[in-house]
């Protein structure tokens, strides 16, 4: 849950720049959020815009 909304983890990256680039690619169809994990890796989370499935939504 992020801000009361369900987000799904879509991928994990070793550095912030890779995570940002991936999140930007998804933002046309999805809401995205990036979090740094305790192990230093970066997780990209997403949820679809209303009525639209994210292209990476089959994970």
Which of residues 57 and 7 earns the better pLDDT score? 7
Higher confidence at residue 32 or residue 59? Answer: 32
CB 43 within 8 A of CB 19: yes
Structurally, the chain folds into a number of domains equal to 1
| Dist. CA 41–CA 27, nearest whole Å | 21
Does the CA dihedral 32-5-1-53 come out positive or negative? negative
The confidence band for 54, taking pLDDT boundaries of 50, 70 and 90, is low
Q: Report whether 12 contacts 37 (CB < 8 A).
A: yes
Of residues 54 and 15, more confidence is placed in 15
Residues of the chain by 3-state class (helix, strand, coil), percent to 5: 20, 35, 45
Cross-sheet strand order for the sheet of 30-36: 8-13, 42-48, 30-36
The string of pLDDT tens digits covering residues 9-42 is 889 999 999 999 999 998 888 889 999 999 999 9
**pLDDT score for 46:** 87
The whole domain housing 17 covers: 1-59
């Amino acid at each position: 849950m992020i801000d009361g909304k369900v987000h799904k983890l879509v991928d994990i990256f070793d550095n912030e720049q890779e995570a940002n680039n991936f999140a930007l690619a998804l933002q046309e169809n999805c809401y995205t959020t990036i979090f740094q994990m305790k192990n230093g890796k970066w997780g990209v989370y997403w949820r679809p815009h209303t009525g639209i499935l994210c292209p990476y939504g089959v994970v």
